[in-house]
Amino acid sequence: MTVLDYLYDLSNLVQAFANWLSTFAPGWVVYWVVGLIAVATTLLFAVNNTLAMNYIERKVIAHFQVRYGPNRAGPYGLLQPVADAVKILLKEPIIPAVADRPVFLLAPIAAFVPAIMPWAVIPFTPQMMVADLNVGVLYVFAMGSLATIPIFMAGWSSRNKFALLGAMRAVAQMVSYEVPLVLSIVGVVISAGTLSLRGIVEAQAVPYVIPQFLGFLVFFVAGLGELNRSPLDILEAESEIVAGYHTEYSGFMFILYYIAEYTHLWAYSAFITTFFLAGWRGPLLPPYVWFVLKMLFVAFLLIWLRATMPRLRIDQLLSLAWKFLLPVALVNVFVTAVGVFIFG
């Protein structure tokens, strides 16, 4: 293999390393070392994206609002996220005296775990994924459904009325948006005939955003609701309830929520790429480059929405989920099933 082959799919590099390692190390050492490399690179990629997104989001929104954005620290302000991270890590983490202490301390960690878990099944290339589960789609939604509890833990244990209000809004919103989110992906699963994420990408000769446009629409909007992203971010509406469920958090405990939120966001971009934009498939460029480019495109759409749309009210938000997204998702399932039955 030439250098180009190694660069075309980085997992070839790991494979070569594993082959070299197995010449003198026992099998279980190779297994654990390769596994740890895969997990560590995925984790680092997911978490470092927070820094990148912090910069991209501020810069893009600044340009939408006809101003410069961060431009002092480093060239083009590129070191601004690093400076911010250092600053916030040096702040004192304050625990309220009346807080439910064990739950208060556990909540940020519990919020981080479901944000990082879905990365295990994201297929960057046919080989570059930690695990190809044959229940991959269900695994993704199972991990997504775990994200609600830590938010409620934070709001409840803070003993702060704004935190509790934010947490109650979060539970109502995330329960409502989970139903259309799961239903919207059923069309994709019926068309692809598999629950494996690699299988779904391999089934997309045409990206599913075209034949499954209704499903894409519902998934995109319901995903915004699950992510609590603007314009559906009433649970941390700063003009009404301060900062929502993480009002009482400061220092590194706050930064864990921040990282969890952006890790969720990137995972969501990766799932839209996988389910609807044909994942790693594309001409010329290496597969993982295509994947990351598509992810960046989805992230840009999200920032664009945040910069242009006003925030919805809670009743508008819930009726959007139950009276619009849910029926559309059901119609999509029905039409897809009939279509696959007749033509498939």
Partner 1 sequence: MNTNEPAVTIAFYVFSALTLGGAAGVVFGRNMFHAALFLVASFFGLAGIYVLLQADFLAVVQVLIYAGAISILVVFAIMLTRQVERGNEWNQLRGPGLLLGVLLLLGLLFVLTGTQWYTGMGPYPADTVSTLARQIFGPWVLPFEVASVLLLAALVGAIIIAREE
Give the footprint of partner 1 on this chain (CB under 8 A).
Answer: 100, 103, 133-135, 138-139, 141-143, 145-146, 148-149, 152-153, 156, 168, 171, 175, 195
3 state SS of 74: coil
Helices (H) and strands (E) in the chain, counts: 15, 0
The minimum distance between CB 276 and partner 1, in angstroms, equals 22
Nearer to partner 1, 154 or 277 (CB): 154
Nearer to partner 1, 35 or 74 (CB): 35
The minimum distance between CB 159 and partner 1, in angstroms, equals 10
Nearer to partner 1, 9 or 178 (CB): 178
The position carrying tokens 């992203």 is 229
The minimum distance between CB 36 and partner 1, in angstroms, equals 13
Nearer to partner 1, 78 or 195 (CB): 195
Nearer to partner 1, 253 or 277 (CB): 253
Where b means 16+ CB within 10 Å and e means fewer, 288-323 reads bbbbbebbbebbeebbebbeeeebbeeeebbebbee
The minimum distance between CB 218 and partner 1, in angstroms, equals 19
Nearer to partner 1, 170 or 303 (CB): 170
The minimum distance between CB 172 and partner 1, in angstroms, equals 9
Tokens of 191: 């068309």
CB-CB contact of 190 with 132 (8 Å): no
Nearer to partner 1, 1 or 142 (CB): 142
The minimum distance between CB 166 and partner 1, in angstroms, equals 13
Residues 6+ apart with CB under 8 A from 226: 144, 147, 174, 177, 178, 181, 268
**Residue 131: DSSP 8-state:** -
The minimum distance between CB 339 and partner 1, in angstroms, equals 19
Helix (H) or strand (E) holding 104, with range, is helix 101-116
Tell me how far apart the alpha carbons of residues 226 and 221 are, in angstroms, rounded to a whole number. 9
What are phi and psi for residue 118, nearest 5 degrees?
-65, -20
Tell me how far apart the alpha carbons of residues 234 and 239 are, in angstroms, rounded to a whole number. 10
Distance of CA 288 to the CA centre of its chain: 17
Residues 6+ apart with CB under 8 A from 31: none
The minimum distance between CB 248 and partner 1, in angstroms, equals 16
CB-CB contact of 220 with 334 (8 Å): no
The minimum distance between CB 149 and partner 1, in angstroms, equals 6
CB-CB contact of 150 with 110 (8 Å): yes
Residue type, 261: E
Nearer to partner 1, 9 or 226 (CB): 226
Residue type, 255: I
Nearer to partner 1, 12 or 145 (CB): 145
